[in-house]
Structure 1
Amino acid sequence: MQVLRPITVNDFAALKEIAIESGHGFTSLPVDDGQLQEKIDRAQNSFTKNVDKPIDESYLFVLEDSETGKVIGTTAIEAAVGLSVPLYHYHLGKTVHHSPTLNVYNTVDILSMCNDYTGCSEICTLFLREDSRKGLTGRFLSRSRFLFMAQHSERFADTVIAEMRGVSDEDGHSPFWQWLQEHFFSIEFPQADHLVGLGDKVFISELMPKYPIYVNLLSKKAQAVIGHVHDKTKPALKLLEKEGFEHRGYVDLFDADPTVEAKLGNIRSIRDSQVCPITIGELEHINEQSSDTLAICNQGVSDFRATFTKHAHYNQAKHTLIISQEVADALHLKQGDAARFFRL
């Protein structure tokens, strides 16, 4: 059974392995011992804080195989971004050049730097190890965050964003960054990417162009990747789009990947989830071939646990969730407790 839980200090080695495996462009997990330990410490502090509104908490989870004890993935939620470290984006807009005298009318795309998502919640740091990318595991890892957000909505902002991974080659080079580097910077994309992962964003305000960039002045390769994601990120983007996330023209400063957004209450998994008492009992009468797979969590914060299983059945008439003893143990639930769930 695969169980999502808050990260602990004992997960440092596994988190570092994941950071190494994730490769270029995965800025939220830099391969830096100090930064990784700081992320773990910050998450542990966030899970134990008593808060009624989002401030600067970071909730970092790991997905563990309960049989082997191996950490096979990770995911996270930032409660309110941009409050301590500025969050920059480009917004893709338009400007019109019109001369009635010459009968000329041109509409041009422009990129304007902004901080429009300051204070929003962000789902991030989604990574599943390659040998575990089968079945419903990836879908669960992505959607499991919404169980936590639905259960503890007071901890999150009304708007939720997700920054997707942009287009880059095997060496981590971004066509969009190559144009910026040529005209404004003297560092390679992997180095800039690494600095952002370390939280060092001073160079952005120092070196980034202060005025809007005309898209038609970019190289053809740079123009072609604006708003597009890395091939390995396309499945994750499709999952978020099914949840109701939309791209509203905001892209990353470095590789021009899209940032998508949704209102917390409109996210499908949050809207469709429900809470009811559990009954621990036998499920022999359930046909696993035809029964739904449910994503289920307890109601804890520091003791949060979530899993997905066919060994559960929602009795609508009695408004109770019947689960096996194994599932109850994995979620730290006892007879009569309540759980939140949705159909995976």
Structure 2
Amino acid sequence: MTFRIRAATDDDLQHLYEMAKLTGGGFTNLPPDRRALRAKLDRSHAAFGRDEDSLSDEAFVLMLENVETGEVRGTSQLFTQVGQHHPFYSYRLGTLTQHSRELGRTFRAEMLSLATDLEGSSEVGGLFLHPGERAGGLGLLLARSRYLFIASHRPRFADRILAELRGIIDEAGGSPFWDGLAGRFFGMNFQDADQFNAINGHQFIADLMPKHPIYTAMLSEGARAAIGLPHPNGRAAMRMLEHEGFAYENYLDIFDGGPTMTARTDHVRSIREARTARIVAIDRDGGVESLVSVGRLGDFRCAFGLVREAADGIVLSADCARALGVGEDEQVRHVGRW
């Protein structure tokens, strides 16, 4: 089977809704709410329809499609400039060192401070792959196709990029971090707060969250243990981000305590190493396993393919050319599948 990434269309609402119901909670960018998902598709439609190459507050939704059957089996999203209409809050984990001469002891206390340091960054998020397709590298295709999209539309993205990983969620769908910290101030459980945030935004955090630093020693053991840890299902995603050049720099999600990974956009490996080339031939004789993309904005497509260097361009495998709908003399962007 051959899969490709394409731009979301207005007809993808039901596909997104069915996937949202499978997330199991804690997935802010894919809420199981038709109204919120329709608004997300409308925003994406407007972004794909704007042809100016300039930075603005936009969101792009991409879909993973089976070329042979037309089935949609995954999705991912890009946000060009977070925090422009609602504050983009994170916790920043820091250390306060104090020394007592009388006791002859030095004390180091970890503190969580509410911060909007990452405001204005671009974000890659909203990645979901259907449980029945979690093999064959399709998660990698979903994730890394976003970087080829950024490389193709670089002026529309900020110089810093982030990715929020889902934090620890217990078997009942609750968050030890939320229960041990924010839940005490909001009077609502994690599921209700997460759903409210997904639909209505972060403003209620600004209204109710305490602004003073919080000593982690005052939190429950479960909340402390969850700080900066990804959900077990997100460990592979964290490794993939690290391989791209992202790092955890003590920023974490205010809801579930999951790590927020950051990088300089131009230093992201898939963006830095991507190359454009002309297709000089299409055949089945092999080559280097690669991600290959073509098209601008709503015509963007990306798929796995075999690429061989040639004198005046590249030779592309036939199945990839078919998935992308390209032929000889067309320009594509490609990067190795590592």
Please say whether Structure 1 and Structure 2 have the same fold, judged by a TM-score greater than 0.5.
yes
Question: Which residue number in structure 2 is paired with residue 332 of structure 1?
Answer: 325
TM-score where L is the length of structure 1: 0.94
Do the aligned partners of residues 222 and 319 (structure 1) sit closer, same or farther apart at CA in structure 2, a change above 3 Å counting? farther
Deviations 1:76-115 (A, max 9, x none): 1000000011110000001122222432321111000010
Q: 1:314 aligns with which of 277, 302, 308?
A: 308
| 2:337 paired with 1:341 | no
The 8 Å contact of residues 93 and 111 in structure 1, kept in 2 or not, is answered as yes
Q: Distance in 1 between matches of 2:153 and 2:182?
A: 42
Q: Distance in 2 between matches of 1:239 and 1:158?
A: 20
Letter in 2 for 1:298: V
The 5 Å alignment of 1:244-323 reads 244-283=245-284, 285-286=285-286, 291-309=287-305, 312-316=306-310, 318-323=311-316
The 8 Å contact of residues 273 and 335 in structure 2, kept in 1 or not, is answered as yes
The 8 Å contact of residues 73 and 129 in structure 1, kept in 2 or not, is answered as yes
Q: Distance in 2 between matches of 1:319 and 1:23?
A: 49
Letter in 1 for 2:81: A
Do the aligned partners of residues 282 and 225 (structure 1) sit closer, same or farther apart at CA in structure 2, a change above 3 Å counting? same
The 8 Å contact of residues 289 and 307 in structure 2, kept in 1 or not, is answered as no
The 8 Å contact of residues 97 and 109 in structure 2, kept in 1 or not, is answered as yes
Structure 2 counterpart SS, 1:83: coil
- State, as a whole percentage, how many aligned pairs show the same letter: 37
TM-score where L is the length of structure 2: 0.96
The 8 Å contact of residues 299 and 340 in structure 1, kept in 2 or not, is answered as no
The 8 Å contact of residues 246 and 262 in structure 1, kept in 2 or not, is answered as yes
The 8 Å contact of residues 181 and 187 in structure 1, kept in 2 or not, is answered as no
Do the aligned partners of residues 319 and 214 (structure 1) sit closer, same or farther apart at CA in structure 2, a change above 3 Å counting? farther
Structure 2 counterpart SS, 1:184: helix
The 5 Å alignment of 1:56-67 reads 56-67=57-68
Deviation at 1:181, TM superposition (A): 4.8
Deviations 1:100-140 (A, max 9, x none): 24323211110000101111000000010011111121111
The 8 Å contact of residues 282 and 321 in structure 2, kept in 1 or not, is answered as no
Question: Which residue number in structure 2 is paired with residue 36 of structure 1?
Answer: 37
Do the aligned partners of residues 210 and 313 (structure 1) sit closer, same or farther apart at CA in structure 2, a change above 3 Å counting? closer
Task: Structure 2: state its 5+ residue gaps.
Answer: none
The 8 Å contact of residues 145 and 302 in structure 2, kept in 1 or not, is answered as yes
Question: Which residue number in structure 1 is paired with residue 211 of structure 2?
Answer: 210
The 8 Å contact of residues 307 and 317 in structure 2, kept in 1 or not, is answered as no
Deviation at 1:153, TM superposition (A): 0.8
Deviation at 1:202, TM superposition (A): 2.5
Q: Which runs of at least 4 in structure 1 moved beyond 6 Å after TM superposition?
A: none
The 8 Å contact of residues 6 and 62 in structure 1, kept in 2 or not, is answered as yes
The 8 Å contact of residues 280 and 328 in structure 1, kept in 2 or not, is answered as no
Once structures 1 and 2 are overlaid, which stretch shifts more, 106-115 or 272-281?
272-281
The 5 Å alignment of 1:84-163 reads 84-163=85-164
Deviation at 1:9, TM superposition (A): 0.9
Once structures 1 and 2 are overlaid, which stretch shifts more, 272-281 or 68-77?
272-281
Deviation at 1:326, TM superposition (A): 4.3
The 5 Å alignment of 1:212-231 reads 212-231=213-232
Question: Which residue number in structure 2 is paired with residue 18 of structure 1?
Answer: 19
> RMSD of the TM alignment (CA)?
1.4
Q: Distance in 2 between matches of 1:206 and 1:10?
A: 36
The 8 Å contact of residues 288 and 308 in structure 2, kept in 1 or not, is answered as no
Deviations 1:257-314 (A, max 9, x none): 100001111111111110010124333x43xxxx4321100142110011002xx332
Deviation at 1:45, TM superposition (A): 0.8
Letter in 1 for 2:82: V
